């Protein structure tokens, strides 16, 4: 009894993650795509959202894998057409627009899911469980990658609203806010912004409770996505973006990449029960860092 779903925005993330996850799932039947240029072999392809909603009233769920800037208009159209909606991260360009979508979905009893794929990495739930009864003394996030490798030529990440290095950094924040037993708040932020760009390429964030974060988009060679938590019961380390978890250097869990299959399993549950899952905490921290951050101009960046 697979549920029909339409996938919107057939770019790199859709091809790499969404399509394989949907094809492998018994919950879902990928019934249509909407994209200006991309398509998936054997699946009905639309280039226009309104046309898809009109032609396929039999598809009750839409997954939006578009960049954040155009996403609001698509999500609004889907909700107004009575469809359940799943949102790639970050769930929008502004907090206000996401609150508006929540209200629209609630008024229509539709499911709406602000996904955070990194929260579904294999080490995250074990890390949360392990930390629950510890005294946490210090947490440090190191998230260093090469923007030229992951966003080749994508100028939009450096344009207003593109979030800059917070685009990957929000993944770290989605894990942090999932595993910590109590909330934290940004106290100070240093935002390194290239002279010729609008958004930061590096950032150092100080949170309350001895939590710090180091984000950098200029790391060539090996890439680092690590969260380390020192506690009264030892040191927990999440590496590879949450995939692997160790305590005092001893590996605890290792598993293949199951992030997107788990997101779609969660969406299937939400649709079954008519529920919504809209935790905006990771984005609130980005927003807070941008609001109170000190801007430091660094050398120009060119792809």
Contacting positions for its own copies (CB under 8 A): 72, 93-97, 99-100, 103, 160-161, 163, 183-186, 188-189, 198, 281, 284-288, 290-295
Shortest Cβ distance from residue 29 to its own copies (Å)? 34
SS3 content of the chain, % helix, strand, coil (to 5): 35, 30, 35
Catalytic residue among 4, 12, 80, 89: 89
Instruction: Find the angle CA(94)-CA(99)-CA(102) to the nearest 5 degrees.
Output: 130
Task: Considering the complex, state which of residue 32 and residue 283 has its C-beta at the smaller distance from its own copies.
Answer: 283
CB of 166 to its own copies, least distance (A): 9
Q: Which residue, 79 or 243, is less far from its own copies as judged by CB?
A: 79
User: What span, in angstroms and rounded, lies between the C-alpha atoms of 107 and 21?
Assistant: 30
Rg over alpha carbons for the chain, rounded to the nearest Å, is 19
The pair of three-digit structure tokens given for residue 176, joined into one six-digit string: 């942090």
- What does the block give as tokens for 182? 């109590």
Minimum separation from the CB atom of position 109 to its own copies (A): 19
Cβ proximity to its own copies: between 24 and 132 the closer is 132
DSSP 229-273: EEETTEEEEEEGGGTEEEETTEEEE-----HHHHHHHHHHHHHHH
CB of 280: closest distance to its own copies in angstroms? 9
* Residue closer to its own copies (CB basis): 72 or 130: 72
- Length, in residues, of the chain: 303
The CB density around residue 147, as the number of other CB atoms within 10 Å, is: 21
Is-catalytic flag, 134? no
Active site residues: 89
């Amino acid at each position: 009894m697979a549920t029909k779903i339409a996938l919107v925005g057939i770019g790199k993330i859709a091809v790499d993650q969404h399509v394989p996850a949907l094809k492998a799932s018994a919950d879902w039947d990928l019934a249509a795509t909407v994209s200006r240029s991309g398509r998936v072999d054997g699946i009905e392809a639309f280039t226009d959202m309104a046309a898809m909603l009109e032609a396929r009233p039999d598809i009750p769920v839409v997954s939006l894998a578009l960049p954040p800037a155009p996403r609001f208009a698509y999500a609004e159209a889907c909700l107004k057409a009575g469809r359940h909606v799943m949102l790639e991260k970050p769930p929008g360009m502004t907090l206000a627009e996401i609150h508006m979508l929540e209200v629209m979905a609630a008024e229509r009893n539709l499911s709406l899911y602000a996904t955070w794929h990194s929260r579904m990495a294999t080490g995250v739930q074990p890390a949360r469980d392990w930390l629950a009864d510890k005294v946490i003394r210090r947490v440090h996030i190191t998230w260093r990658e090469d923007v030229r490798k992951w966003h080749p030529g994508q100028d939009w990440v450096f344009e207003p609203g593109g979030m800059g290095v917070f685009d990957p950094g929000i993944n770290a924040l989605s894990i942090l806010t999932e595993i910590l037993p109590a909330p934290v708040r940004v106290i100070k932020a240093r935002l390194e912004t290239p002279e010729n760009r609008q958004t930061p390429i590096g950032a150092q964030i100080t949170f309350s409770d001895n939590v710090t974060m180091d984000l950098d988009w200029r790391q060539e060679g090996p890439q680092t996505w690590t969260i380390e938590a020192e506690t009264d019961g030892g040191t927990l380390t999440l590496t590879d973006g949450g995939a692997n978890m160790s305590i005092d250097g001893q590996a605890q869990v290792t598993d293949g990449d199951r992030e997107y299959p788990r997101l779609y399993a969660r969406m299937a549950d939400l649709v079954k029960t008519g529920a919504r899952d809209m935790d905006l905490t990771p984005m609130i921290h980005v927003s807070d860092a941008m609001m109170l951050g000190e801007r430091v101009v660094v050398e120009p960046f060119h792809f």
